[in-house]
Amino acid sequence: MSDSVIPQPQNPPLLIVVSGPSGVGKTRICNRLMENDSRLVRSISATTRPPRPGEEDGTDYFFWGEDEFKSAIGEGLFLEWAMVHNHRYGTLDATVDKLLGEQKSPVLNIDVQGGASVKAIRPDAVLIFLLPPSMKALEERLRGRSTDSEAVIATRLQNALTELKRYEDYDYVVVNDDFDQAVAQIESIMTAERARVRR
Provide the binding-site residues for ligand 5GP, judged by CB under 6 A. Answer: 22, 26, 45, 49, 80, 82, 84-85, 89-91, 109-111, 113-114
> 90 or 132, CB closer to ligand 5GP?
90
* CB nearer to ligand 5GP: pick between 42 and 183: 42
Q: How far is the CB of 133 from ligand 5GP (least distance, A)?
A: 18
Task: Give CA–CA dist 196/191, Å, rounded.
Answer: 9
CB-nearer residue toward ligand 5GP: 145 or 199: 145
SS3 131: strand
Beta-sheet strand order (sheet of 105-109): 40-42, 105-109, 16-19, 126-131, 172-175
Nearest distance from C-beta of residue 91 to ligand 5GP, angstroms = 4
Identity of the amino acid at 191: T
Q: How far is the CB of 122 from ligand 5GP (least distance, A)?
A: 14
- Smallest gap from Cβ 176 to ligand 5GP, in A, equals 14
Closest to ligand 5GP by CB, 13 or 115: 115
105 vs 109, beta carbon nearer ligand 5GP: 109
Q: Helical H runs in 102-149?
A: 112-121, 135-145
Question: CB count, 10 Å around CB of 86?
Answer: 10
Shortest Å, Cβ 90 to ligand 5GP? 5
d(Cα 132, Cα 29) in Å, to the nearest integer?
13
Residues 6+ apart with CB under 8 A from 184: none
